[in-house]
Structure 1
Amino acid sequence: MLNTVPSRLSRFLAARLSPEGELGLHLTVGLALLLAAAWIFGAIAADVVHGATITRVDVRLAHWFHERATPGFTRAMLFVTHWNGLAGSSVMGALLALWFWRRRARYWLIACLIAVPGGMLLNVALKHVFRRVRPSFDDPLLSLLTYSFPSGHTAAATVFYGLLACYLVRRVHAWRARVLVVTAAGAMVALVALSRMYLGVHYLSDVLAAAAEGAAWLAICITAVSTLHRRRLARGETSWSERTHAAEDLG
């Protein structure tokens, strides 16, 4: 009896770390990313609620950006922030969904249709939970009446560019190309976050929490859809068309 315990444990771990199967490595990695992102979000949210050190850093950094604003950089940041706003994110999400549909990548399409609008709704709900007031200046570069925490633009950028990066990483095989894809996606999220802080509509903690929120939500969506895809493959429930285009879909 005692000898069977280690063997069962080893079989369990082997199944969780296997790249094959319904509940293999993809689920393990997805849950790990979800837990890590959720923990980061919770830690930042707790610090904001209790007025920890990061809130004082927030105010100092907000004033630092505001005091160094220039007309040219302000125009550039306004372009970035408007391009990645509700309308821009919706258009980019719709175009990405259309691309998945034309490529018959139906599980990526499902992930996109869930992740992009779902992430926006989640962010609105979190804003009303925390109800944090935005930074305030006598001569603001941009004024908004909605709540500040967490940043909707940053969360949407994390979901969209993260989803796009996941798809491209699955499509390319050279490790340098994969690093370039992930780096580019991270740079776009950072640029959006910078635009929100520079324009004085979000604090540092707002954008950091939003990135964690977006990563957690994206991990949920991709892991769930990938598990559904693997389960249907394992049970032989996929059609000939789905098997033919399996290379386009989630692994």
Structure 2
Amino acid sequence: MDDDAVQVQALADWLGAHAVSVFFVTLIILLLVTATALVFFRRYSGRIVGGNLSRTMLLSICLVVGAGMLVATAAVFAEMMEVFQADEEFGLFDSRLTETLSKELSATTLRVFGTLTHLGDPITLTVLVVVVGILLLARRQTAMAFGWVVACAGGAVLNRALKQIFERVRPVHDHGFAVADGYSFPSGHTSGSVVVYGMLAYLCMRLLPSRWHVPAVLLAVALAFSTGWSRVFLQVHWASDVIAGFASGLAWLTVCVVAMEVARRHSRPG
């Protein structure tokens, strides 16, 4: 075994042994970074739009960035098809981390994440999509209701298509705290949570008073992040499945939000 493989396995062992601590530290850092970015955006976005860049130019740039994220994600996925084998670094890391988690995590931890993971269940997300869609229609927010449903449904279709392309087998999980079948890559719970909770945060920013904007986004980030990594803790997904779920979900979410903003701004009179 070469030095790179030894280092990869050592990293997986360390992360598996300190999984819960790493999870909470990473979540706190992610929330702090998100909050800082939101404050920066709210403070300077008006200057950017009102300065050298018009709204149309800014939205065009955002569309290019969103499309670029989708293309980059697809390129990364194509490359990953070659490195899923057990003797490659991705495969070594995934298998070793899952093996370590199965030894290190207590029944209590598995039970907690087994409950948390239901936030990303297809039935949970579907009910949420239907309820929010009905509420938007009741408020006569037809365009937002349409965008909400298309974004959420499109994310689900995209994930299913990717699973069929990669046909990756799940890790063995026989602890009884979660059961999953079907193909593994990318994680549908993860990408679905990113898209649905991310879109819900976007709707909150459009419809609720400004004091709710930051809490809504932070809650969406926490829910999506926690749901995604619960799949690794429960050993129903490889770590790279969840990372891919975050990447594909975020890329699709970006495109959908920007598209809705373009439609919203271009529908304004004058």
Q: What's the TM-score, normalizing by structure 2? A: 0.71
Q: Does residue 1:227 correspond to 2:262, yes or no?
A: yes
Q: CA deviation at 1:56?
A: 2.0
8 Å contact from structure 1 (residues 155, 214) kept in 2: yes
Q: Does residue 1:49 correspond to 2:74, yes or no?
A: no
Aligned alpha-carbon RMSD (Å): 2.7
Whole-Å Cα distance in 2 between the matches of residues 71 and 139 of structure 1?
9
Whole-Å Cα distance in 2 between the matches of residues 17 and 55 of structure 1?
45
Whole-Å Cα distance in 1 between the matches of residues 74 and 232 of structure 2?
18
8 Å contact from structure 1 (residues 17, 24) kept in 2: yes
Whole-Å Cα distance in 2 between the matches of residues 178 and 33 of structure 1?
22
1:86-235 maps to which residues of 2 (within 5 A)? 86-137=122-173, 141-170=177-206, 171-173=208-210, 178-233=213-268
How many residues of Structure 1 are paired with residues of Structure 2 in the alignment? Answer: 218
CA gap of 1:53–1:216, structure 2 versus 1, over 3 A, is same
8 Å contact from structure 2 (residues 83, 90) kept in 1: no
8 Å contact from structure 1 (residues 48, 55) kept in 2: no
2:237 aligned partner, one-letter code: H
8 Å contact from structure 1 (residues 48, 54) kept in 2: no
Q: CA deviation at 1:14?
A: 9.5
Identity of aligned residues (%): 29
Query: What is the aligned partner in structure 1 of residue 64 from structure 2?
Result: 31
Whole-Å Cα distance in 2 between the matches of residues 25 and 66 of structure 1?
47
Q: Which has the higher helix share?
A: 2
Q: CA deviation at 1:131?
A: 0.5
Whole-Å Cα distance in 2 between the matches of residues 117 and 203 of structure 1?
24
Q: Which runs of 5+ in 1 are unaligned?
A: 1-12, 237-251
Q: Which runs of 5+ in 2 are unaligned?
A: 1-48
8 Å contact from structure 1 (residues 31, 219) kept in 2: no
1:105-141 Cα deviation digits (max 9, x unpaired): 2222111110112211111111000001111256565
The higher radius of gyration belongs to: 1
1:74-119 Cα deviation digits (max 9, x unpaired): 2222222223211111001111212222222222211111011221
1:139-175 Cα deviation digits (max 9, x unpaired): 565343300000001111000111011122333435x
8 Å contact from structure 2 (residues 73, 251) kept in 1: no
CA gap of 1:42–1:178, structure 2 versus 1, over 3 A, is farther
1:97 aligned partner, one-letter code: G
> Equivalent residue of 1:233, what SS?
coil
Whole-Å Cα distance in 2 between the matches of residues 37 and 103 of structure 1?
32
Q: What's the TM-score, normalizing by structure 1? A: 0.75
Q: CA deviation at 1:228?
A: 2.9
Aligned equivalent of 1:66, options 90, 99, 102: 102
Whole-Å Cα distance in 2 between the matches of residues 126 and 216 of structure 1?
14
Higher RCO (C-alpha under 8 Å, 6+ residues apart): 1
Whole-Å Cα distance in 2 between the matches of residues 28 and 128 of structure 1?
32
Deviates more, 1:218-227 or 1:198-207: 218-227
